[in-house]
Amino acid sequence: MQRIGCLGPEGSFSEEAVHCFLAGDAEFKRNPPQVCIYTTIPQLLRACDQKAIDWAFVPVENSIEGQVGATLDTLIQSEELLIYREFKHHIKQCLLTAHPLELSQIATVYSHEQGLGQCREFIEQNLGSAVQVVCSSTAEAAKQVAAAKQNWAAIAPLRAAEVYGLCCQAEGIQDIRQNETRFIMVGHRLAEMSNCDKTSLALVTADRPGALYQVLHEFAVREINLTHIQSRPSKQRLGEYIFFIDVDGYALSVPIQDVLAALQQQQVKVKLLGSYPKAP
């Protein structure tokens, strides 16, 4: 059986997302891999790089918080890992209790600091007198509430209710409804071409005026749509940045191969991060 790693603990949003992904992807639905829990993103990606697991399922971008630096920084260090799939997961915060309660009965509410912050309006309107306690993760908050069996509540994913046997008092209590995280499934092979692909690249330009413009120009003249660009410090020298770029199309198609050849002539360092079907 294949193994896929995700960020824990059990009951986390990452674990919820990986189960949703596996249930909906045709290739993995029939023979889903065993899910393995890891405590950090670098640890998870290194385990995949060293082939301790077959796949790594990691967050790469959030619609509110932006890029996940740990994923990009670790991915760029690997010579072999390739993005095989992407998956967009809606982040829905839920109010969980050990037994059915009226909201006015809840004395303490536990969550990660981001969980509490994302649900500030709900807490003020419905749990104004409850004490707020910060935990290391939303899943840890759910675990504590389940163990105590007091008039406490956790703000956590619905998956945590299933894992720890909690009652869901309210769903979707976050202040910003459209909160999505994009996950990538990373492995050791390139995905096959589909009818709607995306290619992810990392590149370092020369330190000269117009260097980035020249790179983008190569895509523009070939009418290749650039859908995403962001930068991260290279961690090699001050002022040097790695640009992460997503473009429409498959890496082995003629237009993208022409771009890569032109960039090589310009002495631009380019790393292919993967070509894979776009998430719906």
Asked if residue 48 and residue 112 are part of one domain, the reply reads: no
Task: Kindly state whether residues 82 and 183 are assigned to the same domain.
Answer: yes
Tell me if residue 141 falls in helix, strand or coil: helix
Same domain, residue pair 208 and 262: yes
User: Do 81 and 183 share a domain, yes or no?
Assistant: yes
- The confidence score (pLDDT) of residue 59 equals 93
DSSP helix/strand/coil, 209: coil
Cis peptide before 157 (omega within 30 of 0): no
Residue 218: inside a domain? yes
Q: Tell whether 142 and 209 lie within a shared domain.
A: no
Reduced to 3 states (helix: H, G, I; strand: E, B; else coil), residue 242 is strand
Burial classification of residue 242, based on how many CB atoms lie within 10 Å of its CB (0-12 exposed, 13-18 middle, 19 or more buried): buried
Domain encompassing residue 211: 197-277
Q: What is the pLDDT of residue 8?
A: 85
Residue 192 lies in a domain: no
Whether residues 67 and 144 share a domain: the answer is no
- The CATH number covering residue 17 comes to 3.40.190.10
Which pLDDT belongs to residue 184? 98
Q: Is 0.75 surpassed by the pTM of this model?
A: yes
CATH number at residue 201: 3.30.70.260
Please indicate, yes or no, whether residues 203 and 70 belong to a single structural domain of this protein: no
Helices within the chain (DSSP H only)? 13-24, 26-29, 41-49, 69-77, 113-118, 120-126, 138-148, 158-164, 211-221, 254-265
Residue 166 lies inside a defined structural domain of this protein: yes
Per-residue pLDDT of the chain (280 residues; tens, 9 = 90+): 999 999 888 999 999 999 999 999 999 998 999 999 998 999 999 999 999 999 999 999 988 878 899 999 999 999 999 999 999 999 999 999 999 999 999 999 999 988 999 999 999 999 989 999 999 889 999 999 999 999 999 999 999 999 999 999 999 999 988 889 999 999 999 999 999 999 999 999 877 888 889 999 999 999 999 999 999 988 888 878 899 999 999 999 999 999 999 999 988 999 999 999 999 8
Q: For position 130, what pLDDT does the model report?
A: 96
Does 10 share its domain with 77?
yes
The number of folded domains in the chain is 3
In a shared domain, residues 85 and 183: yes
Residues 243, 145 within the same domain = no
Same domain, 267 and 202: yes
Residue 255 lies in a domain: yes
Tell me, yes or no, whether 153 and 99 share the same domain. Answer: yes
**Pairing outcome for strands 108-111 and 152-156:** parallel
